[in-house]
Amino acid sequence: MAGVYGPHPFGYNRAMKSLQNLRIVLGITGGIAAYKSPDLVRRLMERGASVRVVMTTSATAFVGPLTLQAVSGQPVATNVLAMADGNAMGHIELARWADLVLVAPASADFLARLRMGRADDLLAAVCLTTTAPIALAPAMNQQMWQAPATVENCVVLRERGIHMIGPAAGAQACGEVGPGRMEEPLAIVEQVAEMFANRALAGRKVLITAGPTREPIDPVRYITNRSSGRMGYALADAARDAGAAVTLISGPVTLTPPDQVELISVETAAQMHEAVMSKVVGQDIFIGCAAVADYTPAAPAARKMKKSEVDLALTLQPTADILAAVAGSGNGLFTVGFAAETDNLALNARAKLQRKALDMIAANLVGGPDRGFDSADNELHVFWADGDRVLPLASKSRLARELVALIAERYQAARSANVGD
């Protein structure tokens, strides 16, 4: 039986933007404002972010790593060479893990080192390595902030796409008054949420499937697959953050339901098919990320099947192809499929794109430990009729944001082409 949970997305409270599933490396450098860092960690986590703290050596003179470990619930990293103890991630792992590197407070010295591309401590090395966005919340004496060297460093860092949060002006710890105070934790959190809330799908309705299905053999046994739902749930987060009203139809998973997303829980392929078709009218975009069973037992037993000594053959029958049904429903949805392949990725994905009459298909290699089913990361090769793009290995939340941005781009292009027809 399908169940409906969660508030309808039109009730989305823009005043409390979510950071759900966003992975943030919080860098703390040496400055008195570091005493606000535990509060910042708490507020980021309240909004749903996962936080890993990296401190410079001088930051540890202002606030204890143990405090930050307690509030973040994760080991705090301070030293690029201490990573070998296996307790914390190394700079490459941290850089890959992050959806955002936020440095707060960012000292004048750190701005200068970042501008120079130094890698002489763990935080600088993470910043140099990461391909995730970097945001800095500077904090320093007002003379240091206004010094020509700092001004020039900030110009260069902004030109490189680094996001500056503040600083605010006012009374400073040194007794002077002027610009250079770190923004308050709440204001930093709001700006981070703003960075990730684009409006690419504002006003659009997006229907997404996620997770596995379970096909019953008898009342206690079923056929399923390794899908965890992570990729589909991350897509729901990303589409919502892009301004869409999102309905997520999910097979059985153990994930926390996304905020401000209508969630419909189902178990079997037939239930998923029924739920999707009941929701399809009025939607703009469909993303089929679920690993729907291709076959289901033709006649599930009403009672628990007894063990016997002879071979057992199960008769399976094909399930309805939900993706093809949506693409062929005549409702004009922009339809995006997934292709899970163990070989011939491009060839098989392009064949599915054509056969199911899709607008786009996101292909992933599955079967390995570091991507695809039930992993934290993934890599996608996305195809459409006259183009393709590789979205390199990254966390599923980051990849979902990139895929949603690409879907929005292609969706707009398709709409403009239709208007021009």
**Least distance CB 386 / ligand PMT (angstroms):** 21
- Closer to ligand PMT by CB, 88 or 353: give it: 353
Is residue 251 part of the contact set for ligand PMT (CB under 6 A)? Answer: no
Which entry of 127, 154, 174, 289 is annotated as an active-site residue? Answer: 174
- 243/337 with CB nearer ligand PMT: 337
Contact between 287 and 210 under an 8 Å Cβ cutoff? The reply is no
Q: Between 138 and 337, whose beta carbon lies closer to ligand PMT?
A: 337
User: Whole-number minimum distance, CB 75 to ligand PMT, in Å?
Assistant: 26
Do 94 and 77 contact (CB within 8 A), yes or no? yes
Of residues 200-219, those binding ligand PMT (CB under 6 A) = 209, 211
- CA proximity to 30, closest of 91, 120, 109: 109
Instruction: Please pick, from the candidates 215, 259, 262, 321, the single residue that binds ligand PMT as defined by CB under 6 A.
Output: 321
Query: Given candidates 153, 319, 335, 395, which one binds ligand PMT under the rule CB under 6 A?
Result: 319
b/e per residue, 49-79, with b = 16+ CB within 10 A? bbbbbbbbebbbebbebeebeebbeeebbbe
Cβ of 193: how many Cβ atoms within 10 Å? 19
Look up tokens 């009941």; give the residue: 278
Please tell me whether residue 265 binds ligand PMT under the rule CB under 6 A.
no
Q: Please report whether residue 18 would count as binding ligand PMT according to CB under 6 A.
A: no
Q: Provide the minimum distance between the beta carbon of 295 and ligand PMT in the complex, in angstroms, as a whole number.
A: 9
Q: By CB neighbour count within 10 A (0-12 exposed, 13-18 middle, 19+ buried), where does 84 fall?
A: exposed
Min CB(214)–ligand PMT separation in Å: 13
- Selected range binding ligand PMT among 30-38, 87-95, 122-130, 319-327, rule: CB under 6 A: 319-327
Count of chain residues binding ligand PMT (CB under 6 A): 30
**Tokens describing residue 150:** 């700092």
Q: Does 289 bind ligand PMT (CB under 6 A)?
A: yes
| Of residues 392-421, those binding ligand PMT (CB under 6 A) | 396
Q: Segment near ligand PMT (CB under 6 A), from 30-38, 122-130, 236-244, 285-293?
A: 285-293
- We find the least distance from the C-beta atom of residue 325 to ligand PMT, in angstroms, to be 8
Please state, in angstroms and rounded to a whole number, the distance separating the CA atoms of residues 89 and 408: 34
* From 68-76, 108-116, 327-335, 368-376, span contacting ligand PMT (CB under 6 A): 368-376
For 409, phi and psi rounded to 5 degrees? -60, -50
How far is 88 from 150, CA to CA, in rounded Å?
Answer: 32
Residue bearing tokens 């969706």: 411
The tokens describing 234, both together, are 């991350």
In the complex, least distance from residue 229 CB atom to ligand PMT, rounded to whole angstroms:
5
Whether 26 and 44 have beta carbons less than 8 Å apart is answered as: yes
Q: Which residue from 28, 137, 269, 394 is in contact with ligand PMT, where contact means CB under 6 A?
A: 269
297 binds ligand PMT per the rule CB under 6 A: no
94/289 with CB nearer ligand PMT: 289
Angle at 135 between CA 132 and CA 137, to 5 degrees: 160
Is 229 a binder of ligand PMT (CB under 6 A)? yes
Q: Is 279 exposed, middle or buried (0-12, 13-18, 19+ CB in 10 A)?
A: middle
Q: Which is nearer to ligand PMT, 142 or 364 (CB)?
A: 364
CA dist 1 → 63, 216, 291, 292 (Å) = 52, 13, 19, 17
One residue of 38, 185, 243, 288 binding ligand PMT per CB under 6 A: 288
Quick check: is 289 catalytic? no
Q: Does 322 bind ligand PMT (CB under 6 A)?
A: yes
Number of neighbours of residue 223 by Cβ within 10 angstroms: 16
Is beta strand 285-288 parallel, antiparallel or unpaired with respect to 334-341?
parallel
State yes or no: residue 290 binds ligand PMT (CB under 6 A): yes
Q: Which residues of the shown chain bind ligand PMT in the complex (CB under 6 A)? A: 209, 211, 227-232, 269, 288-292, 294, 319, 321-323, 337-340, 352, 364, 366, 372-374, 396
**Catalytic residue IDs:** 174
